[in-house]
Chains A and B, each alone.
Chain A
Amino acid sequence: MATISDVKPADVKPEAVLSNDEILRYSRHLIMPEVGMEGQQKLKAAKVLCIGAGGLGSPLALYLTAAGVGTLGIVDFDVVDYTNLQRQIIHTTADVGRKKLDSAAEKLMAINPFLNLRPFDMKLTSTNALELFREFDIVADGTDNFPTRYLVNDACVLTGKPNVYGSIFRFEGQASVFATEDGPCYRCLYPEPPPPGLVPSCAEGGVLGILPGLVGVIQATETIKLILGQGDSLAGRLLLVDALGMKFRELKLRKNPDCPICGTHRTINALIDYDQFCGIRGQEEPAGNDVPSISVEELKKKLDAKADVFILDVREPHEYQICNLKGYLIPVGDLPKRVNELDSSREIVAHCKMGGRSAKAVNFLRRAGFTKVYNLTGGILAWADRVDPKMPKY
């Protein structure tokens, strides 16, 4: 199969011919031999699919558009949230509540009206991925969950499209290029996903706002290099980014001959149920519903009646500084070591930010023999919503 970089000048499609305006726009590319007219035409002829218009997708889409990629597809069904603005730089305050796709489209077309933008307001699934990927040359993965990452990987391998990968966590990131013809795929590196709950999300673990910027631009760079056929791609290498130490390390990646999808004896020939693969079974009840719970209204009533309730706060010290219910602070990770600080004869209400960590804490304490311990459903956020609107939310 010819690679994108095999396009010769004589093969330039009519739609990749550059107008005088475009030649002026991209002059800083054209005067470099590594790009030149030929390279810019390749960019214009290229079709890149960006999965996600959030943290990673923002810088990816912005830079690919600015660089002159001819066709950019974006897949995102989400709506802009106020907490996104700290890092999803394609969206502004005025966009809160708007579809991310609409917000992104507006900014991208403003940067480069020559862009052929193809928006896909939908969730990527096993039923639509293959058909969609066949219409593009390269897929850039900016998603935020494990099932979709495996879906993107498998669909890329099955359709023969390179998968420009980036992922982040707090202040560390990873980047690579998977699913090239001779290179490894995501499953070669990680045959199985972690069980749910083992790796916290941005909402729970936090993320340095600049991080998806760093990693997203690395992804944009790798995409452009693939299109141009220039430089050394990250295929076969895993770039590890440590933003706090500002250290960049490289690990070697190999194609796993036993990989079930890209190895010599392929056993996966179709897309599977990725939620099941990742251990997520359909629509779960909200966090904490299967532990003994108490609502914020019930807690307020008890406190007003001066009932003897011991409030256990299982968040981290820096969260306590933001707002608190004057609870006794034992971060959830320290609970096993500090459980003897608690009096099991008292009624204990455990809370965290949203109800998740405190549900874990309640389960732990119940297994340890505490009978009068309850989870505050919805956490301190629910308290700020419904009991004390003056309390800050974070």
Chain B
Amino acid sequence: MVNRRTFLAGLGAGLAVGPGLLPARRAAAKKRGGTLTVGMPNDWNTFDPHNLSFANFTLQQNLYDTLIRYDQSLKPLPGLAERWAVAPDGQSVTLTLRKGVKFHSGKDLTAADVVKTFEKAADKDRGSNMLPAVANVAGVTAPDAGTVVIQFKKVSPEITDLLHAMAIIEPSAMDSLKNRGSGTGPFKFVEWVPGDHTTLERNAAYWGAPAPWVDRVVFKVFSDSDAMVAALQSGICDLVVSLPPKDVSRLSKEFNLVRGHPGALTYELRVNGTKPPFDKKEARQALLYAIDRKGVVETVLFGVSQPTVLPFSRASAAYDASTLAKYPFDLKKAKELLDRAGVKGGKAECLALPQFPELPAIGQILKADLAKIGFDIELVILDSTQYYKRVLGGDFQLATSFSGNTQKYPTRVALNSIYRTANNPVWGNNVPKAYVDAINEANGTIDPAKQKAAFARLDAAILDEAWVVSIAYRQSVFGLARHVQDFAFTVDDMAVLEHVSLEK
């Protein structure tokens, strides 16, 4: 049976495939114009689409375009590249760019602009989070204005992930991305008042015409999520992103609530395998059994999630459904493992970020459960700069956190700092060999059978070394006033606003 929630999620999936795919009849009936006000719990920290912080996603999706898009089942679809052909050896790809695409300044998009974006991504100072993603790129050339050829250093099984992540930036705007941006996306930059609001306006020359439908989008930042919810309820906002799970049930009758892609991010407990008592593998493995994942989903995430033992989303090729049964919540087993590690009356500090109230709450549940087997957790709540300084510097025992890129080619998980194969905040350059080997194996083949075997070894290495204990998926919920129609989201939970109309 299809209920409204399933229907809305399906609608999101349908619309995420790209512009111009709305049935003509519906497009003719849609209203044009108006200002869409979107409430957000965080402001962006940059207009650079290569900074892949979760907070920047909504902006990036609506200001820029990527070379290709994904539908909700991660099937690649045309974006700025109309066609792409991967060489049989998997070491290069040739892209044919869409014709008639213009940057917000009015300049035509050419292959040379795509090359410049790749050069920026590969630049040590400007590459941001795309720098490791292009590490395997040997060169990018533009044989003509509409063709781009990307050459890889070695076989690349994650070509579509790279094309999907690569947002193309107008070259003349690359030096001012700290506080403004320009791409080819459905909306153009107008104004940013940091900490308060950002205004975008309709890009009339958008290649996906007749979208976008609204004239302006105002993103309002709320430092308090309750104030954001009140703004939705009182009609100040038409749409809010990252609705707190606690409000989902209460608001479900009055608003259309759309659940995002399950598994865009995964909540986890980061465990420092170089600091006692977790320098003993058994002590880390004990945590796999000591976390009440169902309890977290029910009490912290209010049912808006599913538990997981692996970082990978359920759509990922590396997801293994049997792991949930293998690692149940079992304090007796956890105690046995702690005993085997020689931990008696253990004690550890667990760091958490207050901006995401789920993280301290997960820490509280862990603390209460471990106390039952005589292990004491001290929960330490830190602001983001202190938290990241300690977590990235390996100055912690336990930390609640989350990882992204868990729904794409499985080795992309290594883009998260805690899963790095080198310069890892926990292991430095001594990352467990079985894990590094599995990543390298999966990255070195385009043979599906070999990939499958490598993914199995990857899962086994992550669970055996247990320096990251996955808990549950973070599923975004978008709250929409009834008059907001045709909202969609991407597999990264980026809000797609180009099709949105205000049917007031």
Decide whether A and B assemble into one complex: no
Residues of A whose CB lies within 8 Å of any CB of B are none
